[in-house]
Amino acid sequence: MKGRFIVLYASNNLGKSKQLDLLEEAWQEIGRPYKRIKYPRYDSEFGRILNRELRGPVEERLNLTDEELQMLFAEDRRYYQPRLMEVLKEKDVLAEDYTGTGLAWGLTKGVLREKLDTYNFGLLEPDLAILLDGERFSGGTERGHRFEVAGQEVWERNREIHRKLAFELGWEVVEAGGSPEMVHERVMRVIREN
């Protein structure tokens, strides 16, 4: 069996984690082997640095530039890629965030596209990329997170960049409004059709 690499993208606070929970339930129900991955992988060497930089106390942060952050995000993906390819020989991979997230946040923060493309060059392309698009959930903001506390204007810019990338890169777009179950049905429809 060759697995499918399915990635969910969205601006922060749109229910990606909940949708991955529901996808896991669906995969368990049909008995299809899978592995769930969230990028960055905070248990990796790169991930620990990124977690501290994104969420850690201000005095413990390295104050990396947005360009340096995006390099680390890409290196985290690159470091895991051999394992990802092994997993895909036997299972589907359901991923929360991937290269598109790096492109969207890098562009939002002013990193040049050609640099972002260079950082992510050679990384595996998803078989199916799905963008959840809609209005931000007000209750989901993580206090102290470098990207989530950036404000509504930055969030709106990030959402618009995600939408442009979806058009450019051929991602499927799913309306994120409504109950989690309604959104899940939309996601499953896209998966079945692709």
Q: Which domains does the chain have, with CATH numbers?
A: 5-193 (3.40.50.300)
Q: Give me the pLDDT at residue 85, please.
A: 98
Q: Give me the pLDDT at residue 112, please.
A: 98
Cα–Cα dist 92/95, whole Å: 10
Question: How does pLDDT run across 132-146, given as a tens digit for each residue?
Answer: 999 987 655 455 544
Residue with tokens 């995969």: 27
What is the band of 56 on the pLDDT scale with cuts at 50, 70, 90? confident
How many Cα neighbours within 13 Å face the side chain of 25? 11
The distance of Cα 104 from the centroid of its chain, to the nearest Å, equals 10
What is the average per-residue pLDDT within 160-187? 98
Question: How does pLDDT run across 118-127, given as a tens digit for each residue?
Answer: 999 999 999 9
Q: Partners of 132 in the beta sheet?
A: 174
Q: Give me the pLDDT at residue 145, please.
A: 45
> Hey, how many other C-beta atoms are within 10 angstroms of the C-beta on 95?
23
Cα–Cα dist 119/106, whole Å: 11
What is the band of 39 on the pLDDT scale with cuts at 50, 70, 90? very high
Helices (H), the chain: 16-30, 45-55, 66-88, 99-108, 113-119, 152-169, 180-193
Can you give the pTM of this predicted structure?
0.91
| 64 vs 150, higher pLDDT | 64
Asked whether the predicted pLDDT for residue 101 surpasses 50, the reply is: yes
What is the average per-residue pLDDT within 156-173? 98
Mean pLDDT across the chain: 93
Tell me the percentage of the chain whose pLDDT exceeds 70: 93
Q: Give me the pLDDT at residue 116, please.
A: 99
